[in-house]
């Protein structure tokens, strides 16, 4: 399978003030294959969200290369990068980020209608189908203050999928939801991935990571460990076991990283 996303030695440095820099990503390398379902985990401040925003072109990297489907996105002009985000990428955020003045279905349709040659009828049918798939078709004309957090996150997923993207990025998509809604959203994402869309998630929740097929563990701006699993199948796999195995792996990886640090310090 081909790599859809490839990052080589990327760095992100943020200037906080005079003579005060924060080095968030440090020479990070990453490869994601087409159709893969990847989770990035790590403690707060480890740089996992920054990695997601930088490899998706939402933020500009300070150095290194990011290839998306073979195109170097770090060097693309803003206009071309926007085009890639519109047609090939979808995003879901922890704080949902819907447009306030649009109804639920208009929020879903908006990215598709922005294209010059958009066929309104086709866009509407597709939006309606996505809302049906996520189980909120009845709310299509509601304002955003007339839906729950879980329902709004479903709308955000529909919006991310409206232009049929190659990859879906999620920054803690279940972080602000209750456990029932979180489970439903993850089931939805698993379904979407099964249909061929690559998914890259940032999460601090092992239960969420347990439904992916590869988990990357970040500490101090670096990917320090990677765990490969089979694609999750609810009929065959035991989610509890997968979750526990990830937890155990995280503890081991953290220890290994700490020991290495101490050795380095001793040297």
Residues that bind another protein (CB under 8 A): 49-50, 53, 58-60, 78-79, 82-87, 89, 91, 93-95, 97-103, 106, 109-111, 113-114, 116, 118, 120, 124, 141-143, 145-146, 159, 163, 171
Name which of 103, 112, 110, 108 is nearest 139 in CA terms.
103
Tokens of 124: 């509407």
- Looking at the Cβ atoms of 62 and 183, the one nearer to another protein is 62
Q: What is the nearest approach in angstroms of another protein to the Cβ of residue 203?
A: 15
Q: What is the nearest approach in angstroms of another protein to the Cβ of residue 79?
A: 5
Paired residues of 12 in beta bridges: 25
- Looking at the Cβ atoms of 150 and 225, the one nearer to another protein is 150
Per-residue three-class SS string for 184-246: HHHHHHHHHHHCCCEEEEECCCHHHHCCCCEEEEEECCEEEEEEECCCCCCCCCCHHHHHHHH
Q: What is the nearest approach in angstroms of another protein to the Cβ of residue 238?
A: 34
How far apart are the C-alpha atoms of 54 and 52, rounded to whole Å?
Answer: 5
- Looking at the Cβ atoms of 4 and 55, the one nearer to another protein is 55
- Looking at the Cβ atoms of 109 and 246, the one nearer to another protein is 109
Using CA atoms of 191, 165, 38, 57 in order, give the dihedral in degrees to the nearest 10: -160
- Looking at the Cβ atoms of 100 and 264, the one nearer to another protein is 100
Q: What is the nearest approach in angstroms of another protein to the Cβ of residue 82?
A: 4
């Amino acid at each position: 399978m081909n790599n859809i996303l490839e990052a080589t030695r990327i760095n992100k440095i943020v200037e906080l003030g005079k003579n005060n820099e924060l080095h968030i990503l440090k020479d990070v390398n990453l490869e994601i294959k087409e159709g893969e379902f990847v989770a990035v985990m790590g403690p707060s401040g480890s740089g996992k969200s920054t990695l997601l925003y930088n490899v998706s072109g939402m933020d500009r990297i300070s150095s290194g290369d990011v290839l998306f489907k073979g195109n170097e996105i770090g060097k693309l002009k803003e206009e071309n990068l926007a085009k890639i985000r519109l047609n090939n990428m979808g995003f879901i955020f922890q704080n949902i980020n819907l447009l306030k003045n649009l109804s639920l279905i208009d929020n879903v349709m908006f990215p598709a209608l922005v294209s010059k040659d958009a066929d309104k009828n086709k866009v509407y049918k597709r939006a309606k189908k996505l809302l049906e798939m996520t189980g909120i078709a009845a709310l299509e004309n509601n304002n955003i203050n007339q839906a729950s957090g879980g329902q709004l996150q479903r709308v955000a997923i529909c919006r991310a999928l409206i232009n049929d993207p190659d990859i879906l990025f999620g920054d803690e998509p279940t972080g602000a939801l209750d456990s029932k809604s979180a489970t439903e959203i993850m089931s939805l994402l698993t379904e979407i991935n099964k249909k061929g869309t690559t998914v890259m998630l940032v999460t601090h929740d092992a239960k969420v990571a347990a439904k992916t097929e590869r988990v990357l563990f970040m500490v101090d701006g670096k990917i320090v460990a990677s765990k490969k699993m089979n694609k999750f199948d609810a009929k065959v796999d035991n989610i509890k076991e997968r979750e526990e195995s990830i937890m155990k792996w995280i503890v081991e990886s953290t220890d290994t990283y700490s020991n290495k640090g101490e050795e380095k310090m001793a040297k």
